[in-house]
Amino acid sequence: MKVVFTGWAQDCLGQPEFPELGLKGDLSNGQAVFPLGELEPGAYTFTCSMGVNEGVITAE
Ligand SMILES: [Cu+2]
């Protein structure tokens, strides 16, 4: 499984990460690919690099 963020964002928003999974991305090329492997079912938070803005994906 992978998650792909596309677009461009400034400053910390351009460096999304999944802190629980230890994964950091970079949108400077307009795309950040997160190879998530096989996740246990559950909710996983992603944040900006400052950990302020956040969202959640759910693995089922
Ligand atoms: Cu931020």
Write out the residues surrounding ion ligand 1, Cβ under 5 A.
12, 48, 50, 52
Q: Domain containing 34: what range?
A: 2-59
Question: What pLDDT shows up at residue 27?
Answer: 96
Check if the beta carbon of residue 19 is closer than 8 Å to that of residue 35.
Answer: no
- 21 CA distance to ligand 1 middle (Å): 18
| Pairwise CA distance, residues 60 & 42, whole Å | 7
- 59 CA distance to ligand 1 middle (Å): 24
Number of domains the chain is built from: 1
pTM of the model: 0.89
Residue at 46: amino acid letter: F
Question: What pLDDT shows up at residue 54?
Answer: 95
Question: What pLDDT shows up at residue 37?
Answer: 92
| Pairwise CA distance, residues 58 & 10, whole Å | 26
- 45 CA distance to ligand 1 middle (Å): 14
Question: What pLDDT shows up at residue 34?
Answer: 97
Beta strand residue intervals within the chain, DSSP E: 2-6, 17-18, 23-24, 31-35, 42-47, 54-59
Per-position pLDDT tens, the chain of length 60: 899 999 999 999 999 999 999 999 999 999 999 999 999 999 999 999 999 999 999 999
- 50 CA distance to ligand 1 middle (Å): 4
